Amino acid sequence: MVPPTEAPSQPKRRSPARKGKGGAEGQWALGYREPLNGNEQSKKDDNPLNVRSRIENIYALRGFDSIDPSDLRGRFRWWGLYTQRAPGIPGARTGTIEPEQLDDSYFMLRIRVDGGALTTEQLRVIGEISRTYARDTADITDRQNVQLHWIRVEDMPDIWRELESVGLYTTEACGDCPRVILGSPVAGIAADEVVDGTPAVREITHRYIGDESLSNLPRKFKTAISGSPRQDVVHETNDVSFIGAHHPEHGPGFDLWVGGGLSTNPKLAVRLGTWIPLEDVPEVWNAVVQIFRDYGYRRLRNRARMKFLVADWGAEKFREVLENEYLGRELLDGPAPPLPEGPRDHVGVHEQVDGNYYVGVTSVAGRVSGSKLIEVAEAAERVGSRRIRTTVEQNLLVLDVPGPEVEGLVSGLDQLGLHARPSSWRRSVMACTGIEFCKLAIVETKNRATDLVEDLERRLKDVQGDIEKPVTVNLNGCPNACARTQVADIGLKGQLVRDDEGNQVEGFQVHLGGGLGRDAGFGRKIRGHKVTSAEVGDYVERLVRRYLEQRSSDETFAEWANRVSDEALT
């Protein structure tokens, strides 16, 4: 382990330190290791992983008011804890008042679910923790985690004890470190799978999560590993992704992508043109993380994501550094995997490779509850299942369902508001946490998404059968794109707008025609066009009806939205 107050040692064949851009960007590999901002100073002062002992031995005993501010708004994140937004603070004040004025004395707790893989026992424990400590709150995130709210610091030792008793943890669920690893929710069971990435997910989490040598990165680091031909982990938006690909000589393995990310400077990941065998994925992953640690930009937080490094270097240089400085060997060239066909979300009833079935059900914008998670676990166990999966669409899968039990399970989950045969709107609307709990948010999102689903089901019932591919509607409470607004058919970015009477109200800037896979690209913004929150239902209905009237044969919503005039989209 590297002492927390020292920078990790440099790998071999490192370029010598020199003046110039490296200094301007604060790159460790070029000799610029001095703390460059408050976040870097905090990490240098004490490795954030060390804060757990203070939580357990000091803060849990003395209460919220005893927490050191540098722990509260910094190091707590490495253990999955963010302070919630204090109630009653309007969106107009977001970013205009001091952090301590936004802080509530309660926390959001993010539970890592690497690969989206849960047992029914683990799901039940999460539900029980929610009911005991979190006012029965639970959200499934678009990164396959589960988030709880209203958590008290006094309860964290008991919560960790209960989670870890069933193999769950919150280590590095947030912070400038390797966060949860996205994985195909049908890994190991799908008949069309290229390769099962589960062993790589497990090896990485076992070897590297909580490793102090990787716990001080320039900013957060997002990983995805999927061997599904559906490419079901939004790999285009992650810092590093391994996507199933067949090599003509060596067989199944992974195609390597780096440098994706959204927020205010969105960039799609780029292929490095390499083929990685399953057994090499952990080693290559570790090398990519180290490149980010050593060469990533640390001077300015808004330049500290790996996407900026990849954009400046390009794929060729990144691969050269990876091979020469970190792996010490060349990687095999490999072909690009085919573009995915069909839906990526696994909603519905599908046969597994073993003859059983998995059932994918939708939540509305990820909002569930602890009680509902317990009921899902019990429903699964009644039909003989012990495995649950979360998805990047904020949904749930129940695996290993015997054929005769499928319809009974579907009916039972339907009664819980989790649908295997949902409307296209219940299937395609996503939302971030929003102003209810998030200190960065400007507008409300979760309840708005729920109302929007019901509104669109009513408004567009007559054309439901005409929408072959669900039109995605993603709502975000601020510009940070946690709900992937830039790659949705209709992306709604929260901001304050003026209504017809000139009043400042909650609303959204609109992004149209974004997508991933075959339609990969960012949605277009119509200059000056915004909608109030109250107008969203009217606006989406108008857009969808116009699309259905004007589309050409087999034209997707994204293709139509990028073809027509601005006037057609307002």
Q: Give residue 99's pLDDT.
A: 82
| Average pLDDT for 330-341 | 94
Q: In one letter, which amino acid is 412?
A: G
C-alpha dihedral sign at 69, 72, 76, 82: negative
**CATH number (domain holding residue 148):** 3.30.413.10
pLDDT at 497 > cutoff 80: yes
- Distance (Å, whole) CA 380 – CA 120: 7
- Residues 289, 432, single domain; the answer is no
- Distance (Å, whole) CA 182 – CA 179: 9
pLDDT at 388 > cutoff 80: yes
46: nearest Cα among 170, 212, 205, 179: 212
Domain region containing 450: 427-568
pLDDT at 15 > cutoff 70: no
- Distance (Å, whole) CA 570 – CA 567: 6
Which tens digit of pLDDT belongs to each residue from 67-110?
A: 999 999 999 999 999 999 999 999 999 988 988 899 999 999 99
- Distance (Å, whole) CA 479 – CA 495: 8
**pLDDT confidence of 419, banded at 50, 70, 90?**
very high
The answer to whether position 246 is within a domain reads yes
Q: Give residue 468's pLDDT.
A: 86
Q: Give residue 20's pLDDT.
A: 63
Asked whether 404 and 411 are in contact (CB, 8 A), the reply is: no
Contacts 24+ apart (CB under 8 A), 479-482: 479/263, 479/264, 480/262, 480/263, 480/264, 480/440, 481/262, 481/263, 481/264, 481/266, 482/142, 482/432, 482/433
Q: Give residue 369's pLDDT.
A: 98
Q: With H, G, I as helix, E, B as strand and everything else as coil, classify residue 67.
A: coil
Q: Give residue 524's pLDDT.
A: 94
The answer to whether position 155 is within a domain reads yes
Q: Give residue 540's pLDDT.
A: 97
Percent of the chain with pLDDT over 90: 90
Average pLDDT, the chain: 94
| Average pLDDT for 122-128 | 98
Decide: pTM greater than 0.75: yes
Q: Going by C-beta distance under 8 Å and a sequence separation of 6 or more, which residues neighbour residue 319? A: 272, 273, 274, 331
The answer to whether position 124 is within a domain reads yes
- Residues 562, 437, single domain; the answer is yes
| Average pLDDT for 503-522 | 93
557: nearest Cα among 513, 495, 505: 513
Lowest-pLDDT choice from 197-201, 276-280, 387-391, 501-505? 501-505
- Residues 46, 191, single domain; the answer is yes
The answer to whether position 22 is within a domain reads no
DSSP letters along 297-366, please?
--S-GGG-SHHHHHHHHHHHHHHHHIIIIIISSPPEE-PPPPPP-S-SS--EEEE-TTS-EEEEEB-BTT
| Average pLDDT for 368-378 | 98
C-alpha dihedral sign at 142, 146, 148, 153: negative
Q: Give residue 11's pLDDT.
A: 47
- Residues 319, 449, single domain; the answer is no
| Average pLDDT for 541-568 | 95
The answer to whether position 340 is within a domain reads no
The answer to whether position 11 is within a domain reads no
The answer to whether position 243 is within a domain reads yes
- Distance (Å, whole) CA 445 – CA 213: 37
pLDDT at 3 > cutoff 70: no
DSSP-assigned letter for residue 553: T
Q: Going by C-beta distance under 8 Å and a sequence separation of 6 or more, which residues neighbour residue 338? A: 229
- Residues 304, 440, single domain; the answer is no
Q: How far from 500 is each of 383, 399, 531, 566, CA to CA, in Å?
A: 54, 50, 11, 21
Of the residues 326, 344, 379, the one at which a domain ends? 326
**pLDDT confidence of 1, banded at 50, 70, 90?**
very low
- Distance (Å, whole) CA 182 – CA 231: 11
**pLDDT confidence of 342, banded at 50, 70, 90?**
confident
197: nearest Cα among 269, 115, 138, 255: 115
- Residues 433, 558, single domain; the answer is yes
C-alpha dihedral sign at 342, 344, 350, 356: positive
Of the residues 307, 326, 345, the one at which a domain ends? 326
- Distance (Å, whole) CA 551 – CA 273: 36
Of the residues 268, 293, 326, the one at which a domain ends? 326
| Average pLDDT for 337-341 | 92
Lowest-pLDDT choice from 11-25, 332-346, 482-496? 11-25
Q: Give residue 294's pLDDT.
A: 98
**pLDDT confidence of 9, banded at 50, 70, 90?**
very low
Percent of the chain with pLDDT over 70: 96
The answer to whether position 202 is within a domain reads yes
pLDDT at 177 > cutoff 60: yes
pLDDT at 400 > cutoff 60: yes
Task: Say what angle helices 120-133 and 370-382 make with each other, to 10 degrees.
Answer: 150
Lowest-pLDDT choice from 59-63, 181-185, 356-360, 495-499? 495-499
Q: Give residue 465's pLDDT.
A: 87
pLDDT at 17 > cutoff 80: no
What total of structural domains would you count in the chain?
A: 2
